[in-house]
Amino acid sequence: MPSSGLLVFLLVLHANLKFSLSLGVSERIWNYNYTRYHPMDEISSWMDSVEEQNPKLVTSLVYGQTFEKRDIKLLKFGLPDPGGLEKKAVWVDCGIHAREWIAPAFCQWFVKEILQSYNESDVRLTKFLQKIDLYVTPVLNVDGYMFSWTNQSTRLWRKSRSLPPQGCGCHGVDLNRNFNANWGTVGVSTDCCSNTYCGVSPASEPEAKAVTDFVGTRVEQFLCYLTIHSSGQLILLPYGHPQITAPNYEELVSVGKAAASEMKKLYGMEYRVGTSPQILYANSGSSRDWARLLGIPFSYTFELRDKGEFGHLLPEDQIKPACEEAYVGVTSILSYVYDKNFPNDKLPTAAATACVHATGLIVMTTLATLLVTLGSV
Amino acid sequence: MSPALMRVLWVVVLLSAVRGAPLGTVTPPPVILEPVPSVPVPSEPVRVDSGADQNISIPIHTEQQQQQQQQQQVALDVDVMLTGELNPNHYPARRAAQVVLHHLNTRYGSPYWWGALRQVHKATAEALGDSGRKYSLEVTLQDQISGTKETCTAEVVFPGGPAGGPPQVTTSYEGKSEINTQAQEEALYNQYNTSQNLLSGHNLPDSYGHVAPGMEPFWHLGGVASSFVMLKESSENTLYNMAQVVSVTQLATENNQLRFNYDVLLHEMVSQEIIHWKLLASWSPQEGVKASQMELLPKCHHCEPPQEH
């Protein structure tokens, strides 16, 4: 009967509009809780399901092993380039320091946003991924991260979990002092018990070596290198050494400031932008510096929330706003990098994309309504 | 098939197109809660140059960088002490401003007022010869509890000489503006000013950043009491925050002061170390917070719990 058909139509329309227009789309795609911290085994399972469910978009890659012989795994997002050209690449890693739990939480959030946009046929994302492969490592320092989950007394562990070197009694190396970038010169300790212990030699640690080998053998492809940390609300540009300046310093500052400005629009949070020796402290052997030295033009460290009130123990109810902020900051940089490298094929603006979606929705529902109405006449 | 059903099917088909799945319908993946054994996915082989020598420097881009590679280790300390107008966003001004914060927390902090540094507006530094260095600052603080902001000027003197000693701070701050915490403070004081059920607590915040609502005042109190330690330990080469209250245990009230043994972890940003202190905090609404019996606990190198494999 026409009236029951109409009733079903209205119910289905209501449900679909509600889902499509609400931010709950991600929950519909996934039942994974992105606003809680997850232990490593849950993150690994989640990575498996991301890959399984999106075979045309995602592949995972094990690119090394930690000291304790665990896989270091990334998710590679990419689409075939219609022109068949060689792809460029962007690197994002999280969790190089074990206790900075908001960083892996951000990588998981970032992946969710990519999948959500992909499922909505977001034109900007499609264009981006056709030209640029996105390599995301949700947890780089797997051993350290797992150790920080052991019990309350290990929560604030920072380093890897390598065995003590000869003549010294403590575990672990500060992986972000171990890269081959002015290694061992400033902002480090040679005491293995120190939290800024830089290791026995550059890239001596398997975690640092894994990144060095993977990115190092593909360096011409990489346009951008982002490493995610907490806390402090900072966007750090190379170099950590106070007397060395990156050749594109001015551009790095302006792109960083644009990102910080986007981040501030969300919740009013200030992110300071500058080199580490300017706004934080001098340091050497960081992955960000190594990437810039290699020639990767845009290399940044993000220090996410907060400014010391909770520090590394950021409450779970701040995961969503912290990740939303970080997301707009990261995408601001990625959009700039894309437009700079593909100036003849720039990304459409976000407003234009939303307009297209809204128009499509209106057209389709009008047609559906007409069809039902005509059918019931 | 009935015409009504046909119509319903049309509608469903059309509306699924509205969701815009480019490659067909989107199948929600199953919820995976049990850990799945991780199988390394065969991938493009990671090409490792077996001849790579880790001691060879990465090709560097400027002459300046070349020189730096050959220079000796640069000390961790600030070796070029700036004087005059400072960039308020850079670390020398920020570290001095943090000292102002610690000072104000020792003077005005309570279970219901705990300041955080919000902004550094202006900063200058001056060398005082043997007496050390003096910073003049204009800062905005924010109470972490009510969110109210206060702006003030301050001077911080970091003493010179081998003895060092804690920084000396003076400010223009005259007291909190009208957020009246008095009622809350009195209520808390009266509630705990009995020998029955002495309070105790652990891990504030816990690993997930959570503090139970009833424990929040004691977390704040721990932060304020820690400010006494952080103030006396601060220098131009440090930036302290309290990372966590490991434990708080109430002792019997004495001289009308509530008293608590605190075990706290401080985070020192420059070294990235977590530093363990014990202290005795006493508090009343009239007297404010005082800290005594402050004791540094040695870093325990051999105290790591057994690892799970």
Give residue A242's pLDDT: 95
Q: What is the pTM for the complete model shown?
A: 0.82
**pLDDT at site B301:** 54
Q: Catalytic residue, from A205, A207, A262, A303: name it.
A: A303
pLDDT value, residue A17: 61
- When CB atoms are compared, the residue of A290, A313, A361 closest to B18 is A361
CA–CA separation, A209 and A65 (whole Å): 9
Which distant-in-sequence residues (6+ apart) come within 8 Å of A121 by Cβ? B20, B21, B22
Structure-model confidence comparison of residues B175 and A252, the more confident one: A252
Sheet holding A132-137, edge to edge: A58-65, A71-77, A132-137, A88-94, A222-230, A298-304, A234-237, A272-275
| Band of residue A369 on the pLDDT scale cut at 50, 70, 90 | low
Binned at pLDDT 50, 70 and 90, residue A354 comes out as low
Closest CA to A126 of B282, B52, B23: B23
pLDDT tens column, A94-138: 999 999 999 999 999 999 999 999 999 999 999 999 999 999 999
**Pure H helices in A273-349:** 276-279, 287-294, 319-341
pLDDT for A22 beyond 70: no
What pLDDT is attached to residue A14?
A: 64
From the candidates B208, B219, B302, which should be mutated to test the interface with A, based on the most A CB atoms within 10 A?
B208
Q: Please give the pLDDT value at position A31.
A: 86
Which chain B residues contact residue A44 at CB under 8 A?
35-36, 38
- pLDDT at position B36 is 30
Residue of A nearest to B64 (CA): A244
User: How much is the pLDDT for A26?
Assistant: 41
Instruction: Please state which of the ranges A161-165, A350-354, B75-79, B199-203 shows the lowest mean pLDDT.
Output: B75-79
For residue B188 the two structure tokens come to 């808390």
A52 carries an active-site annotation: no
pLDDT at A9: 66
- Round the average pLDDT of chain B to a whole number and report it: 79
Q: Which residues of A touch B47 (CB under 8 A)?
A: 213, 217
Q: Which residues in chain A are closer than 8 Å to B209, comparing Cβ atoms? A: 310, 313-316, 318
DSSP strand pairing (A222-230 vs A71-77): unpaired
Cβ–Cβ gap B49/A155 under 8 Å: no
Interface residue of A281, A290, A296 to substitute, partner B, most B CBs within 10 Å: A281
CB contact under 8 A, B73 and A186: yes
Question: Residue B113, SS3?
Answer: strand
Q: Which of B71, B91, B119 is nearest to A275 (CA)?
A: B91
User: ipTM score of the complex?
Assistant: 0.87
Q: What is the pLDDT of residues B158-205, one digit of tens each?
A: 998 777 789 999 999 987 665 689 999 999 999 999 868 899 999 999
- Among B28, B46, B203, beta carbon nearest to A28: B28
Listed in sequence order, the DSSP H helices in chain B are 3-18, 63-70, 91-108, 182-192, 216-233
- How high is the pLDDT of residue B142? 96
Least confident piece of the model among A273-282, A327-336, B17-26: B17-26
Question: Number of Cβ pairs closer than 8 Å across A and B?
Answer: 255
Average pLDDT of every residue of chain A: 91
In this complex, the residue of A56, A63, A315 whose CB is nearest that of residue B209 is: A315
Candidates B49, B91, B206; nearest CB to A281: B91
B159, two tokens:
């003493």
User: Mean of the pLDDT values across residues A8-28?
Assistant: 54
User: Is A13 within 8 Å of B307 when comparing Cβ atoms?
Assistant: no
Chain B residues with CB under 8 Å of A34 CB are: none
Low-confidence residues in chain B, pLDDT < 70: 1-80, 176-179, 195, 300-309
